[in-house]
Amino acid sequence: MIPLDHVIGLSAILFAIGVVGVVTRRNMIVILMSIELMLNAVNLAFVGFNRLWPVGPDGAASYDGQIFVLIVITVAAAEVAVGLGIVISMFRNRDSVNIEDVSLLKW
């Protein structure tokens, strides 16, 4: 059985890669992908912790972590739909998916 430390460590590494991707990359598609990576890192942590505590405080079996994962996947799908829509609309207007090209809303 894979120890929990490994699961959490992998989750943390994936999350950090996602963060670095969001902060450093200019391409908005890549940024969206990095966000997905962060979400999935969180999913991994959820299932890991659910395996650590499979029983809830009332003594019955608990699937809270796994249910959270399902919710996060749903949200991620919706977010990608909206995000890609924005990216496409922006590309049509500006011929670019570089995030630094959309900085009009400022002082």
Q: Using the rule CB under 8 A, is 23 a contact of another protein?
A: yes
Closest separation in Å from C-beta 81 to another protein: 19
Which stretch, 20-28, 56-64, 70-78, 85-93, contacts another protein (CB under 8 A)? 20-28
Do 87 and 29 meet the contact criterion of CB atoms below 8 Å apart?
A: yes
Phi, psi of 69 (to 5 degrees): -60, -45
Q: Using the rule CB under 8 A, is 93 a contact of another protein?
A: no
Site string for another protein, 60-79 (x = CB under 8 A): --------------------
User: In this structure, how many other beta carbons lie within 10 angstroms of the beta carbon of residue 46?
Assistant: 20
Q: What six digits make up the tokens of 99?
A: 């995030």
Which stretch, 22-30, 37-45, 66-74, 83-91, contacts another protein (CB under 8 A)? 22-30
Which stretch, 36-44, 51-59, 65-73, 94-102, contacts another protein (CB under 8 A)? 94-102
Name the nearest CA neighbour of 18 among 76, 93, 57. Answer: 76
Cα atoms in the 13 Å half-sphere on the side-chain side of 13: 6
| Residue that the structure tokens 């608990």 belong to | 62
**By the criterion CB under 8 A, which residues form the site for another protein?**
19, 22-24, 99-100, 102-107
